[in-house]
């Protein structure tokens, strides 16, 4: 028995030594790049706030991992894929950056992750919406952290359906993104026993939504779903408010809506809107404590994308610490085998397609009477378990998903 | 008799004029060679991908300047040509892996030229603001086609275009090889523009710009001259777009958006409209500012700073940076 123990510990020790010998940090520094829209449409979603969240993560780690300094780079992608790709290329070529995070506009992200994949570095995407990032565009070098369109559309549609909204009318942005979302929503509605009474497609981008909103009102549907994003959603919501859509008994369901949109539009306009979010600051003591620290530094409450940057970076740094290496494959493997338990997610896990699966939340925007403060905007209606929220691997087109497991 | 007396004088005058022009050309060629020398060693000091981007935008601005500076036509739809070149090249290169890079770029360039012919035929019937508005409207049309068309990838753009092999031989995946290829493309485009400007055809273009009714009364087919200038400009813009797609390995809606049409106007005006080097300098300033500001602490201010520079340029030196420098040199050194 003693001999067995001795052998076992000898094996253990030798494997540890071997591990330590392999482990190393390139340039003796952990270099992180933060790429986001700092000056355009998506500024408030991630932007400078996300950079602040990243800095918080680095500071919470003490600025270094086992004596290896953490160095940050940041850049504005101006929402231009060529600027984003060029920046990331320069980072990996000249600065030897190990990990890139932030990453907001889908077109920029898809361009950036190609560069990251070629250079065999790691990208942790927190801001982008497109579910294609971990579907047809998946790679072993990026992880999609916070949310995606599939989870948002599915979550909201299922929950509204369960709440009794059986007849639907869709307001769709007329391009690939809107079409995909329209198809997703229609599928969920039909499977759930509801019906889609009609839909109208508006050009992307649009400013005048009055004719579309009038059609939606005239349809007599119980639910008006907004299969669009960004400024289009904001404009549609404003018009819907002016035309009294909710007051006349119809429900509004937003598919891609963020805390900063609601804050900017105000509760008067958005009250009653149901939407899905990956995270909300006012959920429990842990989220409130973190959000309070963030608010003290930055002056606004964090969006889910900003919280996602913090969570993703912490998880990455923990993996670097655990493996003693910043080698992409080593760290990626460690990140996948460690569940994510922090203020952002409980029991979150990273799938082979790069999707970080965690619980999503169905929320409703409060009325001005219910709200107790500037940032008291949502009430959480229900939790959507992660494995129901995200696209099941069985439906995945990702090349990394094991075909046997799919069947 | 009097005509015989005047003969020597008449024969003398053109030779003085010719001498002056020859000297000007020598200066120009010398200057361009010096620039080329700088461009050849530049990638040793500056990041090549950034330089390639600069060259692509410089070619774009030069092509635009041919139209605005020498034909007096303000097109507000040049983004459509940039994007068309990019998308066609990107699509062909990613679909047909056997296609060598230069053929892909050629296809994109030709496609832009054909589109330019279509635009031109419609737009040159009107002048001034109406011309600008028609080109803008057509470019928006093209933008929405690219938003919808399945081969462009819509909002996501066309990703992962292979750089491929030049003539099927030289591997362009190395940044340095790619840089010298882009430089060659730029020099070719720039030479075409130079040749056009300094040819008799270019002189007619300038005459049309300065006084169109007079050019008509002299018997020139003004519409055909304008159309040709438009097509050349569109083709070279397509060449810039196609090259840019190969450099970045992507084509996106940013290139088709009217912001891009505005950006090229900014570059040209900032550098100096109607000057040979103006667009080059303008593109350099705009691209460099965008690149370096976005990496710095002033990132949020990119648009504000560019706007202020533009306002200052319009208020203080309306001939643009190069125009202003030229005036300064003339005043002090001659």
Q: Of A34, A193, A219, which is closest to residue A112 (Cα–Cα)? A: A34
Residue of B nearest to A38 (CA): B300
All residues of chain A having their beta carbon less than 8 Å from the beta carbon of residue B159 are 110-111, 114, 137
Greatest alpha-carbon span in chain A: 83
pLDDT tens, position by position, A118-147: 999 999 999 888 888 898 899 999 999 999
Total structural domains within chain A: 2
pLDDT tens, position by position, B215-238: 999 999 999 999 999 999 999 999
Euclidean distance between CA atoms B51 and B42, whole angstroms: 8
pLDDT(A106) > 90 = no
- What's the helix, strand, coil split of chain A in %, to 5? 45, 20, 35
Share of chain A above pLDDT 90, in %: 53
pLDDT tens, position by position, A81-104: 888 888 999 899 889 999 999 998
pLDDT(A177) > 50 = yes
Clarify whether residues A378 and A342 are in a common domain: no
Check residue B297 and give its pLDDT.
67
Decide if B53 and A130 are in contact by the 8 Å CB cutoff. Answer: no
Specify the higher pLDDT residue, A214 or A176: A214
| Sequence-separated (6 or more) residues with CB below 8 Å from residue B232 | B63, B66, B192, B193, B196
Euclidean distance between CA atoms B194 and B177, whole angstroms: 26
Domain presence at residue A176? yes
- Are B323 and B275 in contact by the 8 Å Cβ rule? The answer is yes
Range of the domain at A295: 29-147+283-355
Check residue B1 and give its pLDDT.
44
pLDDT(A169) > 90 = yes
Clarify whether residues A330 and A375 are in a common domain: no
Clarify whether residues A198 and A319 are in a common domain: no
Nearest CB to B49; choose among A48, A90, A114:
A90
Domain presence at residue A59? yes
Euclidean distance between CA atoms A132 and B213, whole angstroms: 57
Clarify whether residues A113 and A175 are in a common domain: no
The answer to which of A4-13, B72-81, B289-298 has the lowest mean pLDDT is A4-13
pTM, full prediction: 0.83
Clarify whether residues A199 and A264 are in a common domain: yes
Nearest CB to A82; choose among B53, B160, B301:
B53
Confidence of residue A18 (pLDDT cuts 50, 70, 90): very low
Domain presence at residue A103? yes
Specify the higher pLDDT residue, B290 or A18: B290
Domain presence at residue A403? no
Check residue B318 and give its pLDDT.
81
Clarify whether residues A380 and A266 are in a common domain: yes
Check residue B2 and give its pLDDT.
46
pLDDT(B72) > 70 = yes
Check residue B273 and give its pLDDT.
87
Check residue A407 and give its pLDDT.
43
Decide if A204 and B253 are in contact by the 8 Å CB cutoff. Answer: no
Task: Give the residue-averaged pLDDT of A233-243.
Answer: 91
Domain residue ranges of chain B, discontinuous segments joined by +: 42-257
Q: Compute how many other C-beta atoms are within 10 angstroms of the C-beta atom of residue B150.
A: 7
Token code pair at residue A162:
């369960």
pLDDT(A7) > 90 = no
CA distances from B262 to A187, A208, B156, B289 (A): 42, 24, 22, 16
Decide if A76 and B249 are in contact by the 8 Å CB cutoff. Answer: no
The alpha-carbon radius of gyration of chain B (Å, integer) is: 21
Nearest-Cα distance to chain B for A333, in Å, is 25
Check residue A23 and give its pLDDT.
55
Specify the higher pLDDT residue, B152 or A50: A50
Token code pair at residue A241:
């408010």
ipTM of the complex: 0.78
| Sequence-separated (6 or more) residues with CB below 8 Å from residue B261 | B75, B76, B77, B78, B79, B80, B136, B139
All residues of chain A having their beta carbon less than 8 Å from the beta carbon of residue B53 are 82, 86
Residue with tokens 């070619």: B59
Domain presence at residue A337? yes
Gap between the terminal Cα atoms of chain A: 45
The alpha-carbon radius of gyration of chain A (Å, integer) is: 22
pLDDT tens, position by position, B83-138: 999 999 999 999 988 888 899 999 999 999 999 999 999 999 888 899 999 999 99
Clarify whether residues A266 and A368 are in a common domain: yes
Domain presence at residue A2? no
Euclidean distance between CA atoms B125 and B140, whole angstroms: 19
Check residue A3 and give its pLDDT.
54
Decide if A80 and B244 are in contact by the 8 Å CB cutoff. Answer: no
Clarify whether residues A170 and A104 are in a common domain: no
Q: CB-based contact (8 Å) between A202 and chain B? A: no
Euclidean distance between CA atoms A251 and A270, whole angstroms: 11
Euclidean distance between CA atoms B327 and B306, whole angstroms: 24
Token code pair at residue A317:
């740094």
Check residue A19 and give its pLDDT.
45
- Are A316 and A335 in contact by the 8 Å Cβ rule? The answer is yes
pLDDT(A51) > 50 = yes
Clarify whether residues A156 and A263 are in a common domain: yes
Interface test with A, best of B141, B154, B241, B256 (most A CBs within 10 A): B154
pLDDT tens, position by position, A351-406: 999 999 999 999 999 999 999 999 999 999 989 999 888 998 988 889 888 755 54
Q: Reduced to 3 states, what is the DSSP secondary structure of residue A369?
A: coil
**Ramachandran region of residue A276, left (φ > 0), alpha (ψ -120 to 50) or beta?**
beta
Q: What is the 3-state secondary structure (H, E, C) of chain B?
A: CHHHHHHHHHHHHHHHHHHHHHHHHHHHHHHHHHHHHHHHHHHHHCCHHHHHHHHHHHHHHHHHHHHHHHCCCCCCCHHHHHHHHHHHHHHHHHHCCCCCHHHHHHHHHHHHHHHHHHHHHHHCCCCHHHHHHHHHHHHHHHHHHHHHCHHHCHHHCECCCCCCEECCCEECCCHHHHHHHHHHHHHHHHHHHHHHHCCHHHHHHHHHHHCHHHHHHCCCCHHHHHHHHHHHHHHHHHHHHHHHHHHHCCECHHHCCHHHHHHHHHHHHHHCCCCCCHHHHHHHHHHHHHHHHHHCCCHHHHHHHHHHHHHHHHHHCCCHHHHHHHHHHHHHHC
| Sequence-separated (6 or more) residues with CB below 8 Å from residue B122 | B134, B138
Q: Of A398, A392, A389, A395, which is closest to residue A153 (Cα–Cα)? A: A389
Peptide bond preceding B70 in cis form (omega within 30 of 0): no
pLDDT(B19) > 90 = no
Task: Give the residue-averaged pLDDT of A257-273.
Answer: 90
Euclidean distance between CA atoms B147 and A163, whole angstroms: 35
Q: Compute how many other C-beta atoms are within 10 angstroms of the C-beta atom of residue A334.
A: 18
The answer to which of A25-34, A231-240, B312-321 has the lowest mean pLDDT is B312-321
Decide if A74 and B299 are in contact by the 8 Å CB cutoff. Answer: yes
Domain presence at residue A9? no
Clarify whether residues A98 and A171 are in a common domain: no
All residues of chain A having their beta carbon less than 8 Å from the beta carbon of residue B302 are 39, 76, 78
Angle, helix A81-90 to helix B48-70, in steps of 10 degrees? 150
Q: What is the CATH number of the domain that holds A131?
A: 3.40.50.2300
Check residue A77 and give its pLDDT.
86
CA distances from B57 to A80, A221, B52 (A): 14, 50, 9
Check residue A406 and give its pLDDT.
45
Nearest CB to A81; choose among B250, B290, B301:
B250
Euclidean distance between CA atoms A143 and A163, whole angstroms: 33
Check residue A286 and give its pLDDT.
94
pLDDT averaged over chain A?
A: 88
DSSP conformational letter for A275: E
Check residue B159 and give its pLDDT.
84
DSSP conformational letter for A40: S
Which residues 327-356 of chain A have a CB within 8 Å of chain B?
none
Decide if B249 and A114 are in contact by the 8 Å CB cutoff. Answer: yes
Decide if A76 and B293 are in contact by the 8 Å CB cutoff. Answer: yes
Q: Reduced to 3 states, what is the DSSP secondary structure of residue A98?
A: coil
Check residue A372 and give its pLDDT.
92
CA distances from A172 to A182, A195, A228, A276 (A): 7, 16, 6, 18
Positive or negative torsion for Cα B30, B61, A37, B91:
negative
Share of chain B above pLDDT 70, in %: 94
Clarify whether residues A269 and A165 are in a common domain: yes
Q: Of B188, B165, B172, B167, which is closest to residue B240 (Cα–Cα)? A: B188
Nearest-Cα distance to chain B for A198, in Å, is 21
| DSSP states of A208-255 | --HHHHHHHHHTT-SEEEEEEEHHHHHHHHHHHHHTTTTTTTPEEEEE
Domain presence at residue A401? no
Burial of residue A162 (number of CB atoms within 10 Å: 0-12, 13-18, 19+): exposed
Residue of A nearest to B288 (CA): A83
């Amino acid at each position: 028995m003693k001999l067995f123990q001795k052998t076992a510990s000898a094996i253990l020790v030798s494997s540890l030594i071997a591990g330590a010998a392999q482990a190393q940090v390139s340039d003796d520094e952990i270099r992180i790049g933060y790429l986001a829209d700092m000056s355009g449409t998506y500024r408030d979603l991630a932007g400078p706030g996300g950079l602040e969240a990243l800095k918080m993560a680095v500071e919470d780690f003490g600025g270094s991992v086992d004596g290896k300094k953490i160095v940050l780079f940041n850049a504005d992608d101006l929402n231009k894929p060529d600027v984003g790709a060029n920046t990331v290329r320069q980072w990996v070529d000249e600065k030897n950056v190990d990990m890139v995070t932030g990453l907001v506009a889908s077109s920029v992200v898809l361009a950036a992750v190609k560069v990251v994949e070629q250079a065999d570095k790691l990208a942790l995407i927190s801001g982008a919406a497109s579910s294609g990032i971990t579907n047809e565009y998946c790679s072993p070098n990026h992880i999609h952290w916070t949310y995606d369109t599939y989870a948002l559309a599915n979550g909201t549609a299922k929950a509204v359906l369960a709440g009794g909204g059986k007849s639907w009318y869709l307001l769709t942005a007329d391009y690939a993104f809107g079409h995909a979302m329209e198809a997703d929503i229609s599928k969920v509605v039909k499977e759930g026993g509801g019906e889609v009474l009609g839909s109208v497609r508006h050009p992307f981008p649009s400013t005048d939504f009055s004719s579309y909103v009038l059609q939606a009102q005239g349809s007599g549907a119980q639910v008006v779903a907004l299969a669009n994003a960004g400024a289009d959603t904001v404009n549609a919501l404003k018009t819907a408010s002016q035309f009294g859509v909710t007051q006349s008994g119809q429900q509004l369901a937003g598919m891609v809506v963020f805390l900063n949109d609601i804050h900017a539009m105000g509760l008067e306009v958005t009250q009653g809107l149901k939407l899905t979010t990956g995270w909300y600051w006012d959920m429990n003591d842990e989220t409130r404590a973190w959000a309070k620290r963030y608010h003290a530094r930055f002056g606004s409450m964090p969006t889910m994308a900003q919280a996602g940057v913090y969570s993703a970076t912490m998880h990455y740094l923990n993996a670097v610490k655990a493996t003693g290496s910043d080698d992409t494959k080593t760290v990626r493997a460690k990140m996948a085998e460690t569940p994510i338990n922090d203020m952002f997610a409980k029991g979150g896990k990273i799938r082979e397609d790069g999707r970080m699966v965690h619980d999503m939340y169905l929320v409703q925007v409060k009325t001005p009477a219910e709200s107790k403060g500037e940032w008291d905007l949502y009430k959480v209606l229900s939790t959507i378990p992660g494995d129901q929220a995200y696209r099941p691997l069985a439906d995945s087109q990702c090349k990394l998903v094991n075909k046997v497991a799919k069947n | 008799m009097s005509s015989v007396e005047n003969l020597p004088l008449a024969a003398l005058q053109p030779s003085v004029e010719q001498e002056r022009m020859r000297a000007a050309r020598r200066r120009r060629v010398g200057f361009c060679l010096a620039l080329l020398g700088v461009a050849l060693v530049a990638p040793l000091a500056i990041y090549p991908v950034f330089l390639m981007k600069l060259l692509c935008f410089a070619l774009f601005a030069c092509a635009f300047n041919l139209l605005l500076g020498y034909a007096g036509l303000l097109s507000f739809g040049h983004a459509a040509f940039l994007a068309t070149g990019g998308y066609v090249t990107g699509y062909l290169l990613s679909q047909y892996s056997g296609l060598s890079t230069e053929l892909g770029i050629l296809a994109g360039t030709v496609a832009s030229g054909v589109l330019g012919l279509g635009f031109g035929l419609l737009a040159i019937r009107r002048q001034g603001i109406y011309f600008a508005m028609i080109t803008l409207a057509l470019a928006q049309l093209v933008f929405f086609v690219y938003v919808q068309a399945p081969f462009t990838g819509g909002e996501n753009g066309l990703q992962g275009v292979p750089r491929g092999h030049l003539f099927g031989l030289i591997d362009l995946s190395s940044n340095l090889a790619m840089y010298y290829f882009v430089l060659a493309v730029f020099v070719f485009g720039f030479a075409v523009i130079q040749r056009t400007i300094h040819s008799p055809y270019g002189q007619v273009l300038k005459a049309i710009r300065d006084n169109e009714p007079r050019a008509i009364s002299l018997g020139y087919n003004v519409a055909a001259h304008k159309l040709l200038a438009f097509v050349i400009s569109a083709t070279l813009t397509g060449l810039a777009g196609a090259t840019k797609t190969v450099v970045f390995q992507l084509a996106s809606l940013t290139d088709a958006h009217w912001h891009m049409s505005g950006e090229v106007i900014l570059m040209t005006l900032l550098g100096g409209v109607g000057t040979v080097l103006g667009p080059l300098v303008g593109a350099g300033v705009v691209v460099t500012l965008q690149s370096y500001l976005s990496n710095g602490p002033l990132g949020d201010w990119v648009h504000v700073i560019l706007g202020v520079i533009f306002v200052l340029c319009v208020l203080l030196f309306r001939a643009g940076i190069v125009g202003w420098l030229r005036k300064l040199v003339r005043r002090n050194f001659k």
